[in-house]
A and B are shown apart, each in its own frame.
Chain A
Amino acid sequence: MKRRKFFGKAATLLISSGLLAGMWKKARAKTPEGYDPSLHYYGMGIQIDKCIGCGSCVEACKNENSVPREPFYFRTWVERYTIGKDGGAVVQNIDARLAVSRDIISEKEIIRSFFVPKLCNQCDNPPCVQVCPVGATFMTEDGVILVDSERCIGCRYCIQACPYGARYIHPDTMTADKCTFCYHRLTREMLPACVEVCPTQARIFGDIRSKASPLARFKRMNKLHVLKPSLNTEPKVSYSELDGEVR
């Protein structure tokens, strides 16, 4: 056999075996009947001027997702911003169940005060995904950042990297945990639990790409802001009426 011919045959073998291997079915998640993740791309809108700080969303999130009840594990939480007459902003975490945070500042000293619901911003350019050393956190096709609790080694890099403080280590599994937009509800065509229970519709959930939806209307009718835009994380959670003091 001529050397040239031999190399030619070897190359064909390699290429064709590569092609064959590529034809293996691509791994795809089994989702409930009729749900196609490629048709969705989720986002949330938050209307600050509607939030009454009742904490229903926090409670619903803890119920729905079995988040530990202790007041330092949160997938979503509500912050109370109080801007005093001296100009300083005080930020407190609302916990309706513990009712700790009322009356810390006298009403006479307040210039303005409001609530800011917070959760994972499901960034389009997520720093937590970049830093994960084992590739345990990733973005799904429909734009939600998930954590693979079987791969996560609990190194806390992502907790350090998240500029919004949206992650925590779950005390039972010792792996990183965060808001998933209630992914198990989304695949059943239901709203996230926090959106479902919010009494004043301060949270608006929907498909970013849809043209007519509550979220599309929210985006059309309001001036939108995102948290920490200078970090270029491109959050999919947007806020209206966001005060300059909010960080």
Chain B
Amino acid sequence: MKNKPPWLPDALWRLIIAFAIIVGAVIVVRMLIPRAMKESAIHYASTVERETIKPIRYAGSSICADCHEEFDLKKQGYHLNLSCETCHGPSVKHTEDPTAVKPETPRKREFCEKCHIYDPSRPTGFPQITPAIHNPLKPCISCHNPHDPKPPNVPEECRACHEEIARTKSVSPHVMLRCTTCHNVPEAHKMSPRLVKATIPEGREFCGGCHSDDSKVKDTPKINLQTHNGKYVCWQCHYPHMPELD
């Protein structure tokens, strides 16, 4: 209170001091403290910016069609939904300079096996092979065109419609059985498949032909037809196209 001019009333002086403190605080908060220390929106914005300028490595498959004809071929086959870069690797550099940078072209069996080796966790019906049995050491691309993978031979008649069953059976213990071993297929079934059906085995005795104790067929799991869960027919527990191994 020493510096107070003598003509100023005390009350007004106190008010001036209080006002100066308020104004000073406002100035400090508004002007002196950098906005970055007060507003999280600024940080969020700068993070988003930093995130958006990151370089991309996968160019996306739509751009490939501009130059590559294989794209049309791929669209007809089983690999239609595969992105080019699923196999050829990140290729954004190739799109920027097509001559200097070439994408990978995997040719080894191991690469295809990444998706197509038999694995019990894979969905039923997904095309899989057991590498030890399926033409060992031969590169996949010598029979299958990866842009339009087909079975190398013309599909069997049944396979044309029942592809998923055929794939499932191809990795099951029943792989060597022909469809007609168990199903009687009338010729008319091919013309009107819903009106004329192929037969399915009836009763336990049919499976028993190979799997009962008194069967003459060698190397099959055998059970006693009389004591083995007589209440059920076989397919209520065992799926014939993929019977469990034991």
Residues of A within 8 A of B (CB): 6, 10, 14, 17, 21, 26-32, 37, 49-56, 60, 63-65, 80-82, 96, 102, 107-108, 110, 113-115, 135-136, 138, 140, 146-151, 180, 183-185, 187-188, 190-191, 193, 196-201
Contacts and interface: CB of A to CB of B under 8 A. Distances in A.
B35 to A, nearest CB: 8
Given A54-B114, A64-B57, A27 B42 contact: yes
A29 B42 CA distance: 8
Interface in B49-102: 49-58, 60-61, 79, 81-83, 85-86, 89-90
24 contacts: A10-B19, A14-B22, A17-B30, A27-B45, A28-B41, A30-B49, A50-B123, A52-B115, A56-B86, A60-B85, A60-B90, A64-B56, A82-B121, A96-B114, A110-B120, A115-B121, A138-B40, A146-B44, A148-B43, A149-B50, A150-B50, A180-B51, A190-B56, A199-B81
B126 A108 contact: no
B245 A196 contact: no
Given A14-B26, A52-B126, A184-B52, A29 B46 contact: yes
A50 B53 CA distance: 33
Contacts of A185: 56, 58
A50 B79 CA distance: 14
Nearest to A148: B47
Nearest to B244: A108
A147 B122 CA distance: 35
A193 B57 contact: yes
A150 to B, nearest CB: 8
Nearest to B60: A190
Given A6-B15, A108-B245, A187 B52 contact: yes
A196 B89 CA distance: 11
Interface of B: 15, 19, 22, 26, 30, 35, 39-58, 60-61, 79, 81-83, 85-86, 89-90, 114-115, 119-123, 126, 244-246
A146 B47 contact: yes
Nearest to A30: B49
Contacts of B48: 29, 31, 37, 140, 146, 183
Contacts of A54: 114-115
Nearest to A24: B35
Nearest to B29: A21
Could you tell me the dominant secondary structure of chain B's interface residues? helix
B41 A27 contact: yes
Nearest to A152: B47
Contacts of A200: 81, 126
Contacts of B53: 184
Given A52-B122, A107-B120, A196 B56 contact: no
B51 A183 contact: yes
Given A10-B19, A107-B120, A146-B47, A196 B60 contact: yes
Given A30-B49, A102-B119, 19 more contacts: A17-B26, A29-B45, A29-B48, A52-B119, A56-B86, A65-B54, A110-B120, A113-B120, A115-B121, A115-B122, A138-B47, A146-B47, A148-B44, A151-B43, A180-B51, A185-B56, A188-B56, A193-B58, A201-B81
A37 B160 CA distance: 47
A96 B119 CA distance: 13
B85 A197 contact: yes
B49 A29 contact: yes
Given A52-B115, A190-B60, A191-B60, A196 B83 contact: yes
Pick from B42, B50, B55 the residue with the most CB of A within 10 Å. Answer: B50
A114 B43 CA distance: 41
A187 B49 CA distance: 10
A156 B46 CA distance: 22
A28 B53 CA distance: 15
B121 A113 contact: yes
Given A29-B46, A32-B52, A197 B114 contact: no
Contacts of B42: 27
A150 B36 CA distance: 12
Contacts of A199: 79, 81-83, 86, 115
B52 A197 contact: no
A53 B194 CA distance: 36
A107 B40 contact: no
A50 to B, nearest CB: 7
> Which 6 pairs across A and B sit closest by C-beta, in order of nearness?
A29-B48, A29-B45, A113-B121, A184-B54, A148-B47, A27-B41
Contacts of A147: 47
B52 A31 contact: yes
